[in-house]
Chain A
């Protein structure tokens, strides 16, 4: 059985632009204030560099979302960003997917455990 859940996909800003980072955080906070247990994907495909400020911004987002019992997943990081996430051990905190579609799929599909079937009839004694 598959259950669809509303997932917000947001493009993470280029971390070299501090103003854009602050604006992104404000937008996220306003979005979170109207959401219940938000499911969010950050699309990192447009982020060529990530410095310590970018990691900090990401961590603030993780905190904000965690405070509202939400879930954050990251999608489509370029190899350098993936390496930075691994170096800083952020990959232990947040799930990372190669594409946004994969991240969406990980949210959307819930496997309901199979109900136990009818027990087979016992063979009759000869």
Chain B
């Protein structure tokens, strides 16, 4: 086989560019949100960056793709990591070249062009960079790295002196922070990159996933994305630049503006969400650079469990006279109804 690909994820834990205010430190394992995972795993208009990278490699005809999740950076990985063994296995099994992708940045590099560059220049190792920094993509000849007597990291370091640099000038997003992720969502919605939303484009710039439920009273303004099995309650307003990922629930009258709601998130009634990234009860406000956990407020949280699980929880409650731990059922806020009351009575002037 000519090319094998190894994708290493988990090296880009989300970080904010400035100070983070975490004013409520009551998080526990039951409230672990999608946003705790590396950004490569976050849904992005239906599919994660990892899925999209694999799909893209498949389109270039790459059959052998291995994915490893490391919590350490490649620079600090010790000898004998699984991906390192995979490199040696590939080399032993006759794979001529190995493409090593440290999945941090999202790029749309042309693999055929990279291969052509690599072979024309007779490189042992080719690193891809965008003129500023490496993009975490390395193409190497397996025969030069397949020496089990010395650690792969040492061999890669030794090959740096004779490595080639492939300058990539196309679309790239380093996905180093939630703001980068939001920028990528906006770029995808605006068609500035090749990311295609998973769903049907019912109107120009409005994509709807399978089984999404949107009543007539909901206003949806493009460009935006509504993921599969997402439910929007009457009176909600979905403004441009918004992405509601799969299995979300947006309650009555809520306005979502220029934000991303990650999967299985519930937004209470009458809220106004703007420039945010929300996963469960965790909210990242991009303009204010705030990262807060609002699990106790009842304003947002996880969507309800399936009916079968709710039935089990109810039975458990009956038997134990207490709620089953870990079954988080959001409590809708009564505040918006009160707000409507105040507005209806003309207290706003």
Known: A52-B299, A84-B299. A79 touches B288 (CB 8 A): yes
Contacts A52-B335, A63-B347, A79-B288 known; A88 to B21 CB distance under 8 Å? no
B315 CB to nearest chain A CB (Å): 27
| Chain A: CB-nearest residue to B332 | A52
Q: Which of B297, B339, B341 contacts A52 (CB 8 A)?
A: B297
Q: Per-residue 0/1 for A52-78: is the Cβ within 8 Å of any B Cβ (1 yes, 0 no)?
A: 100110011011001000000000001
The answer to whether A86 and B272 have CB atoms under 8 Å apart is yes
- Asked whether any CB of chain A lies closer than 8 Å to the CB of B298, the reply is yes
Of A30-38, A43-51, A108-116, the stretch lying at the interface with chain B is: A43-51
Known pairs A83-B285, A84-B294, A89-B270; A55 contacts B333 (CB<8 A): yes
CB interface residues, B 311-340, toward A, < 8 Å = 331, 333-336, 338-339
Residues on B with C-beta less than 8 A from A56 are 334-335, 338
Interface flag for B292 (CB, 8 Å): yes
User: Are B299 and A88 in touch, CB under 8 angstroms?
Assistant: yes
Contact check, A83 vs B271: say whether CB atoms are below 8 A apart.
no
* Any B CB within 8 A of the CB of A80: yes
Chain A residues with Cβ below 8 Å from B285 are 83
**Residue of A80, A87, A93 touching B348 (CB-CB under 8 A):** A93
B271 partner residues in chain A, CB cutoff 8 A = 87-89
CA separation between A77 and B27, bound complex, in Å? 22
B339 touches A93 (CB 8 A): yes
Q: Once bound together, how far apart are the Cα atoms of A88 and B340, in whole Å? A: 11
Question: Which residues of chain B are within 8 angstroms of A66 by Cβ–Cβ distance?
Answer: 342, 347
Check A88 against B336 for contact (C-beta < 8 Å): yes
**A83/B283 in contact, CB under 8 A:** yes
Q: Which of A70-126 contact B (CB under 8 A)?
A: 78-80, 83-84, 86-90, 92-93
Beta-carbon nearest neighbor of B292 in chain A: A80
Separation of A92 and B273 alpha carbons in the complex (Å): 14
| B333 x A89 contact (CB < 8 A) | no
B55 within 8 A of A: no
CA distance A86 to B270 in the complex (A): 11
Query: In the complex the two chains form, is A52's CB within 8 Å of B270's CB?
Result: no
Instruction: Given the known inter-chain contacts A66-B347, A78-B23, A88-B299, please indicate yes or no for A59 contacting B339, CB distance below 8 A.
Output: yes
Question: In the bound complex, do residue A84 and residue B297 qualify as a contact, i.e. CB atoms below 8 Å apart?
Answer: yes
Q: How large is the interface on B (under 10, 10 to 19, 20 to 34, 35 or more residues)?
A: 20 to 34
- List residues of chain B with CB within 8 A of the CB of A84: 294, 297, 299
Interface SS, B side? loop
Rounded to whole angstroms, the CA-CA distance of A79 and B287 in the bound complex is: 13
Cβ of B89 within 8 Å of any chain A Cβ, yes or no, is no
A36 to B24, CA, bound (A): 39
* A84 to B293 Cα, complex, angstroms: 11
- Residues 6-30 of chain B: 1 if any A CB is under 8 Å from the residue's CB, otherwise 0? 0000000000000001011000000
Residues of chain A with a CB closer than 8 A to B297's CB: 49-52, 84
Kindly state whether residue B296 has any CB partner on chain A within 8 Å.
yes
Residues of B within 8 A of A50 (CB): 297
Contact between A88 and B288, CB atoms less than 8 A apart: no
Nearest-CB residue, chain B, relative to A63: B342
**B93 nearest CB across to chain A (Å):** 54
Shortest Cβ distance from residue A81 to the other chain B in the assembled complex, whole angstroms: 9
Query: For the complex, what is the distance from the CA of A88 to the CA of B347, rounded to whole Å?
Result: 16
Once A52-B331, A56-B338 are accepted as A-B contacts, the answer to whether A83 and B292 lie under 8 Å apart by CB is yes
Cα–Cα distance between A50 and B273 once the two chains are bound (Å): 17
* B23, B270, B296: the one within 8 Å of A79 (CB): B23
Query: Which chain A residue lies CB-closest to B331?
Result: A52
B residues 124-161 near A (Cβ < 8 Å) are: none
B298-A52 in contact (CB<8A) = yes
Q: Does B115 contact A (CB under 8 A)?
A: no
Inter-chain contacts of A48 with B (CB < 8 A): 23-24
11 A-B pairs within 8 Å (CB atoms) are namely A51-B298, A55-B335, A60-B338, A63-B342, A79-B290, A79-B292, A84-B297, A89-B336, A90-B335, A93-B347, A93-B348
Q: Which residues of A contact B (CB under 8 A)?
A: 16, 48-52, 55-56, 59-60, 62-63, 66, 78-80, 83-84, 86-90, 92-93
B→A interface (CB under 8 Å): 21, 23-24, 268, 270-273, 283, 285, 288, 290, 292, 294, 296-299, 331, 333-336, 338-339, 341-342, 347-348
